[in-house]
Amino acid sequence: MLRRTRKPDHLQGTLDLLVLKTLSRGPHHGYGIATHIERVTGDVLRVEEGSLYPALHRMEHLGWIAAAWSLTANNRRARLYRITRAGEKRLAEDEAKWTRLTEAVGKLLRFA
Amino acid sequence: MGWFERLRGTIIGGRDELFDEEMRFHLDQRTEEYMRRGLSEADARREALRRFGSPTLVREQTRDEDSFRVVADAARDLRYGVRLLAKNPGFSAIAVVTLAVGIGANTAIFSLFNSVLRNRLPVRDPERLVLFTASTGEGTSVGTPPVGHWERFSTEIYRHLQSQTPSFESLAAVRSGPSTVSVRLAGEQSPAERAVAHPVSGNYFGTMGVGAAIGRTLAPDDDQPAATPVAVVSDGYWRQKLHADPQAIGRVAILNGSAFTIVGVAPPEFFGERVRRAPDFWVPMNFQPIIELRPSFVTENDAYWLNLVGRLRPGASRAEAERSATVALQRFLRDAAGADVAPDRAKEIQQSRIELFDGSGGVSGLRTQYREPLHILLAVVALVLMIACANVGNLLLTRASARQREISVRLALGAGRGRLIRQLLTESLLLAALGGAAGVLAARWVVAALLALVSRTAPVQASVSGPVLMFTLGVTVIAGLLFGLAPALYAGRLELVGGLKSRIGIGGRRRRGFGAAETLVVAQIATSLVLLVGASLLARSLINLQRQSYGFEPDRALLARYNPRLAGYKADTVPSLHRRLYERLAALPDVRSATLTTYTPFSGTKSSNSGHVRGYTPKPDENVEFEMVFVGPDFPETLGIALRAGRAIGPRDGAGAPRVAMVNETFVGRYLAHEQAIGHRFGFGEDKPELDVEIVGVLADAQFHDPKEPIGPMTFLPLLQEATQFALQAEAIVRTKGEPAASANELRRAINEVDGNLPVNDPRVLRDQVADSFGSSRLAARFVGFFGGIALLLASVGLYGVVSQSVARRTTEIGVRLALGARPASVLWMVFRDTIALVALGVVVGVPVSFASAQLLTSQLFGLGAVDVPSLGLSAALLVTVAAIAAIVPARRASQVDPMWALRAE
C-alpha cells in the first residue's frame, strides 16, 4: 500500500503553471504539452513525463482543464486537453505569484 | 469526467484501458520523435520508455487521481473480504449462522414489540383518535350512574356529549363489548353458526376514518329506529364464509333470526378499535336488542352500555377536549338531578369526569397484558446478540492470529494501521450484513410462531415492516462493529517483528495468559448466567402460580359454558332449565357432584354490584361493593371450596323460597367482624329491607381472579332462584371420578339431552383454564427459557472454540510433557482445570449482575423474590455442566497427542 504525500510543493505548483500556460494557447494532448514546454524553454525545462499524466488527471478533477477524445491528423485517437474558465483564473493567479517570486529572487541576486 | 463516472470507475474499475491508450499515444509520438532524430526503432522505443518511467506506476498514480480514495479503499476491502469468506466456507457459515440467530431473535421480538405496542390503527390520522377508557372498558351497568372517571355511557348522555363538545370532529359510540350471535346466510341450507357482532353508532366508520373495501360502510341513517337492518362484514368473515365473493354485497344474513342486509366489507387490515377482538359483523347500535336478545338499552336512560371513541378536530388538543367533555357531562347530570339535589349527589356530580386516552393504537388488552413481558424479551434478545457477537469476535480473533503473518507483511510494506483496522472492520461488517440478511429471513417464520403463542386468534399483524428493517439494520451495524472490534484492536497492537517469525517455539510465546479471547468467554458465561437465572426465576414463578392453592380444587373439575339466551330462553323460563340441567348432570355415572354457576374462577369474568350490609356503617368515601356469583346446588363441594359455617345453597333454594346467600371469609372479616355471620342480612342496589338476602353459609376464600391481587368480598346467590337477565348465560361444572377430560363428551351430550338447541362450548378442565390465564407469564418464561438455551449453546460453542485453540497452540508443549512422562490423565486435567477456571470466573462475575437484573423482573414474579438461591444454583450448575461437556472434547484431544508427531512437527 503506497502512501503519497499530498502537500502541494513548489515543483508541482510549477508543473501546473506550465501546463495551464501551455493550454491557454489552445488545446493539446499530453505529448504536445511536454514537447511544447521543452521547445519553448530550449530544453531547459524537461517535463517529468511520469508525473505529467497524474497531474493532468488531477487538474481535470479540479475543473481547471477539460479533456475529450479526438482524432489527430494521422487518424489516431488522442486525448485533447483544453483550459476552462476556472483554469484561466487559476493561471492568472499563479502567473502573478510566480512573477512576484522571480522578481523577489532577482532583486536579492542583484543586491548581492 | 463527472463524479458519477468517477465513482463508477472507482467501484467497478475498467478505466485503465482508456488511460493505456493515452499512454500508448504518448510513447508512440516520442518514439517517432527519436526515430526522426536517427535512432533505430528499437532504440527509440527503449529511450521513450526510459523517459516515461514505469508505465505501471504512472497508471496507478493516475488511477489514484481518478478515484475517490475512501470509496476505492472500501470497494477493495469489500472485494478482498468476499474472497476471504469464500475461501473459508466453514468459518463463514458458522459466523453467519451465529449472527443470524442473534439478529433473527432481535428482529422477531422487535417486530412483535412493534406490532403489539407501537402499531397504529390502519385509519386516517390515527393520532386524532381518542378513547374514553384506557382498558377495554367492557361490561354494562344499569341503575345508578357511574361515579368518578366515566368509562361507560348511556345513549342519552352520548347524544348530549356529541352535540355539546365542539372539540370533537365526530364522536362515535360502540357497545362495550361485542356479542356472540347465531348466523345463517339466507338461501343456504347449512345450519346456523356462531359469529361475533358488534353494535356501533352510525358514524362509527366515519369517526374511525375507514372506508369500505367493497360496498359501503355504515352511515348515520342506518342507525335510526325505522331503518332497515344492515351490516358491514369483516374481511376475514367475507373470505371464509362468503368465499370472497364480490357479489356478496346485498346478500342477507339472518342474525338471531332477524334479516340484516350486508352492505359492505371492511378493509383487510381493519379489525375495529379493539386490537384483539375482531367482530365478524358491525351493525347499527339501534339493533342491540336483536343482537343481544335482551330489552333495548338504546332507550333505557339508566343503562350505561356504550364506550366512546372520538376524533378531535384538527388543532384541538386532548386536554381541551377532556375539559369541555367533563363540563358537558357535569352540566347534563346537574340538569337531570334538578334543583333540589341531595348534597351527596351534588358532590358525586362534581367528581364525575371524563378522561381521554390516545386512541391511535386502538383498544388493546394485549398491550396492557404483554407490555412488560415484551420489554423483558427485548432485553433478553439483546443479551443473546451480545453472546453471538462475542462468539464471532472470538472466531475472528482466532483467524486474526492465524493471519498474523499476512498482517505483519502488510505492515512491513507500509500499510497504515488505521487502514488495516478499516479493512478488518469492513470484513466484520460484511459478515454482519450476511448474518443480518439471514436473520431477517429466519425472523419471518419465527414471528409467525411467536404470534401463535401470544394469542391464537390475535388479529395482530406482526410483519417484518419498515421500522423493523431499520431496527435490524441498526442492530446489524452495531453487531458488526462490536465483534469486529476485538480483532481490529488486536491487529492494531500487533508487533511487526514478532509476527514475521514463522513458528512459535517451545519456550517462546505460549500465550497462556489472559487474552482477549478469554475475556470474551468470561463475558459470555456471565451473560448466559444472567439469562439462565432470569429464565429459572420466571419458570419457578410460573410453577408457583400453577401450583398455588387458590382455595378450590382445579384438577377434576370439568367446565362447559352454555348459552340459554341464544336458545331462546327468557328470564322467566330459564330457572326451570337450570334445575333440569342440574338434576341431569348430578345423575351422570362418572360424576361425583355437579353444579351450575354464572362464572368460574380464572374465566376472566367478574360481576360486582354495590350494596349494603345491615349493621355495617361504611367509612366516609367507602364504596360498599361485592362480587355477585349465582350458583346452583353443591357449589362448594363441586369446586372444592371449604364450607366454613352454615350450609351450602341447595336444591330447595328455588323459586318462591326465601332469598339466601353464601359469602366468603373476606366478606365476613370486612363487614361482620365481631358478629355471627349466619342469619345476617345484606342487599344490593336500593336499600329496601324486603329485598335483602340472608346469609346461610360462609365459604373459605377462593381466588377467582388475578392471583397478584388480594381477594375481595364475594357473595354467592342461588341460580335456581334467579329469574333475571343474569341467569341467561351460565356454566356447568362437574367433579368427575376419573380423568376429567374423558368425560367431556358425556357432559356435552347430557346438556344437549336436556335441550338440543342449547349452544355448548367445548368442555375444558378447570386446571387448564387456570393455566391459560397465566398466558403472559408462560410466554415470558417460555421465551426467556428458549433464549437462555440459545445463549447457553452459543456460549458453550465459544468456550469449545477457545479451548480447542489453546490446545492446538500448546500441542508442542503437551507433546514434550507427554514425552517427559506426563500421564494422559494429568494432561486432560490440566486443560480441563484451565477451562473450569474460566467458567468459574464467568459465574463469579455473573452472580451480582444476575441479582441486579433480576430486580427488573420483580413485578413478573410470584411467590419468590429476585434473589432466589435455588434459581441461581440451578443455573450455575447447568452452566458448569454444559461448559464441562464443551471442554471435554478438546481436553481429550490434548491427552491423546502423539509426542513424536508433536515434536516432529516442530
- For B191-214, the DSSP string reads PPEEEEEEEE-TTHHHHHT---SE
| Residue B184 pLDDT | 85
Contacts of B416 in chain A (CB under 8 A): 1, 3
Q: What is the value of ipTM here, to two decimals?
A: 0.83
**What is the phi-psi region of residue A110: left when phi exceeds 0, alpha when psi lies from -120 to 50, beta otherwise?**
alpha
Put simply, the answer to whether B64 touches A4 (Cβ < 8 Å) is: yes
| Residue B450 pLDDT | 66
| Residue A7 pLDDT | 39
Of B214, B206, B291, B866, the C-alpha closest to B530 is B866
Put simply, the answer to whether B416 touches A79 (Cβ < 8 Å) is: no
Beta B230-233 vs B258-265: how paired, if at all? parallel
Distance from CA of A34 to the nearest CA of B (A): 10
Per-residue b or e along B105-125, where b marks 16 or more CB atoms closer than 10 Å to that residue's CB:
bbbbbbbbbbbbbebebbbee
E runs forming strands in B497-613: 557-562, 591-597, 608-613
The answer to whether A66 contacts chain B (CB < 8 Å) is no
Q: Which long-range contacts (CB under 8 A, 24 or more apart) does B749-755 make?
A: B750/B584, B750/B585, B750/B588, B751/B560, B751/B562, B751/B581, B751/B584, B751/B585, B753/B584, B754/B577, B754/B580, B754/B581, B754/B584, B755/B567, B755/B577
If 0-12 CB within 10 Å is exposed, 13-18 middle and 19+ buried, where does residue B809 land?
A: middle
Q: Note whether B151 and B132 are within 8 A (CB).
A: yes
- The Cα–Cα gap between B739 and B746 comes to 12
Where chain B has pLDDT below 50, the residues are: 456-459, 502-512
Comparing CB atoms, the residue among B21, B25, B64 nearest residue A31 is B25
Contacts of B65 in chain A (CB under 8 A): 54, 57-58, 61
The answer to whether A1 contacts chain B (CB < 8 Å) is yes
Distance from CA of A1 to the nearest CA of B (A): 5
**B interface mutation test: which of A70, A79, A80 has the most B CBs within 10 A?**
A79
Comparing CB atoms, the residue among B25, B29, B61 nearest residue A54 is B61
In single-letter form, the type of residue at position B797 comes to V
Contacts of A34 in chain B (CB under 8 A): 26
The answer, yes or no, to whether residue A8 has pLDDT greater than 70, is no
- The Cα–Cα gap between B730 and B122 comes to 37
The answer to whether A67 contacts chain B (CB < 8 Å) is yes
Q: At how many degrees (to 10) do helices B775-809 and B417-454 cross?
A: 150
The answer to whether A57 contacts chain B (CB < 8 Å) is yes
Determine the topology of domain A11-111 in CATH: Arc Repressor Mutant, subunit A (1.10.10)
Put simply, the answer to whether B65 touches A78 (Cβ < 8 Å) is: no
Contacts of A48 in chain B (CB under 8 A): 53
Statement: the pTM of the whole predicted model exceeds 0.90: no
| Residue B816 pLDDT | 84
Cell of A71: 482524432
The answer to whether A10 contacts chain B (CB < 8 Å) is no
What tens digit of pLDDT does each residue of A82-100 get? Answer: 999 999 999 999 899 889 9
The answer to whether A97 contacts chain B (CB < 8 Å) is no
The answer to whether A106 contacts chain B (CB < 8 Å) is no
The residue in chain A having the minimum alpha-carbon distance to the alpha carbon of residue B29 is A31
Comparing CB atoms, the residue among B30, B58, B410 nearest residue A31 is B30
Q: Note whether B405 and B499 are within 8 A (CB).
A: yes
Q: Interior CA angle at B29 toward B26 and B33, to 5°? A: 135
Contacts of B62 in chain A (CB under 8 A): 53-54, 57
Comparing CB atoms, the residue among B26, B54, B61 nearest residue A31 is B26
CB pairs under 8 A between A and B: 68
Of how many residues is chain A composed? 112
The residue in chain A having the minimum alpha-carbon distance to the alpha carbon of residue B60 is A54
- The Cα–Cα gap between B681 and B719 comes to 18
Comparing CB atoms, the residue among A3, A50, A57 nearest residue B65 is A57
- The Cα–Cα gap between B32 and B136 comes to 93
Total Cβ atoms within 10 A of residue A100: 10
- The Cα–Cα gap between A25 and B162 comes to 85
Beta B660-664 vs B693-699: how paired, if at all? parallel
| Residue B505 pLDDT | 39
Distance of CA A51 to the CA centre of its chain: 11
Distance from CA of B31 to the nearest CA of A (A): 11
Give Cα separations from B605 to A49, B132, B602, B730 (angstroms): 92, 21, 8, 11
The answer to whether A78 contacts chain B (CB < 8 Å) is yes
CB half-sphere exposure, B332, CA atoms < 13 A: 23
| Residue B733 pLDDT | 95
Three-state SS across B592-624?
EEEEEECCCCCCCCCCEEEEEECCCCCCCCCCC
